[in-house]
């Protein structure tokens, strides 16, 4: 018996990639706004964005898995690659993490995009 693995859902990955591309245009303003607010620890900070599903709800790992995709597929999208390049040019770091969301009816995590690495007073 031959086992097949579901190919990542191209339409889904395209949608997530577009969300990440939209962040490229927001990062500088959001980081500058946060850095200027003097909220948080002195010396740096971070901005968190939540990836969302087609209903505007937080994107869950179980949904991604049900679509035959994974976090590894998301970080390979054009959107993440461009966001990463954009951040690196500004000495910022970007990552997508899985954050605990719920345990019922099954353990679930949501995906967050985290931008960090800036220092107060440094140009962005």
Judge contact between 66 and 5, C-beta under 8 A.
no
The verdict on residue 45 lying in a domain is: yes
- pTM for the model stands at 0.82
Question: Quick one: tokens of 112?
Answer: 């967050």
The verdict on residue 35 lying in a domain is: yes
The verdict on residue 105 lying in a domain is: yes
10 falls in which pLDDT band (50, 70, 90)? confident
Judge contact between 27 and 45, C-beta under 8 A.
no
Residue 26 CB partners (closer than 8 Å, separation 6+): 49
**pLDDT tens profile 32-44:** 887 766 555 555 6
Query: What is the total count of domains within the chain?
Result: 1
The residue-averaged pLDDT of 100-120 equals: 87
The verdict on residue 32 lying in a domain is: yes
The verdict on residue 95 lying in a domain is: yes
The verdict on residue 123 lying in a domain is: no
The verdict on residue 57 lying in a domain is: yes
The verdict on residue 2 lying in a domain is: no
Judge contact between 53 and 63, C-beta under 8 A.
yes
**Domain that includes residue 17, residue range:** 10-116
């Amino acid at each position: 018996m031959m086992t097949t693995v579901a190919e990542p859902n191209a339409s889904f990955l395209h949608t997530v990639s577009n969300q990440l591309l939209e962040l490229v245009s927001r990062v500088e303003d959001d980081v500058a706004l946060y850095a200027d607010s003097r909220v948080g620890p002195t010396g740096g900070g971070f901005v968190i964005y939540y990836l969302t599903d087609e209903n505007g709800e937080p994107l869950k790992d179980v949904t991604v898995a049900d679509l035959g995709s994974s976090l590894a597929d998301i970080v390979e999208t054009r959107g993440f690659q461009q966001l990463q390049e954009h951040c690196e040019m500004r000495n910022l770091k970007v990552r997508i993490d899985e954050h605990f969301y719920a345990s019922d009816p099954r353990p679930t995590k949501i995906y967050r995009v985290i931008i960090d690495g800036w220092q107060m007073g440094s140009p962005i």
